[in-house]
Amino acid sequence: MYILSLIAFSRYIFIGTFLLIVSGVSGVTIAHAEGNTPASQEPVKQEPVKPANEYPQEVVRTFMKGCGFTNSKEFCTCSLDKLRSQYTFAEFLKIDTAARETKQVPKEVVDIFQSCRSKVS
């Protein structure tokens, strides 16, 4: 589970609580058959192919829940929509990882939150 903080401090908005659950969110799930089926014949269940900017539903739900603790639904929806329009899910994960490591949020992301704050105020 990854945590990226979104905290409103004064008039500045930093990335607040979104929890990203990465395990099981992307990739292919392999269903192993019971018995002695050769590996080449094991059934494979594939996730539907999603556009690069479509975020997994679990991430969307978690973002909205975490954001909604301290912000309006309109603000959270605006923020998520702008994030999805500007960043693929893979890019979003990179931003999350970098923010956790450096404790800094890119200016472009802060600008997204500030624009949504202005829009819904």
- Residue span of the structural domain in which 110 resides: 2-24+51-120
Give pLDDT, residue 11.
25
Average of per-residue pLDDT across 108-116 = 97
Beta-bridge partners for 8: 13
- The bridge status of strand 29-30 relative to strand 44-45 is antiparallel
**In-domain check, residue 31:** no
- 2: phi then psi, degrees, rounded to nearest 5: -115, 140
Does residue 29 lie in a domain region?
no
Closest CA to 120 of 76, 81, 82: 76
Is residue 84, in this structure, part of any structural domain at all? yes
Q: Can you give the pLDDT at residue 27?
A: 30
Q: What's the angle, vertex CA 9, arms to CA 4 and CA 13, rounded to 5?
A: 55
In a domain, 39, yes or no: no
- pLDDT for 81: 96
Indicate if the pLDDT at residue 68 is higher than 80: yes
Q: By three-state DSSP, how is residue 2 classified?
A: strand
> Which of the pair, 75 or 21, is modelled with greater confidence?
75
Six-digit token string for 108: 């472009």
* DSSP three-state, residue 56: coil
Structural domain contains residue 91: yes
Q: How confident is the model at residue 10 (pLDDT cuts 50, 70, 90)?
A: very low
- Flag whether 42 is in a domain: no
The mean-pLDDT minimum among 12-16, 48-52, 109-113 falls in 12-16
Tokens of 25: 């969110």
Total structural domains in the chain? 1
Q: Which residue has the higher pLDDT, 70 or 8?
A: 70
Rg (CA), the chain: 18
Q: Please check whether residue 45 lies inside any domain of the structure.
A: no
Alpha helices by DSSP H, 9-88: 57-68, 73-86
Q: Give the per-residue pLDDT at 121.
A: 83
Q: Is residue 74 part of a domain?
A: yes
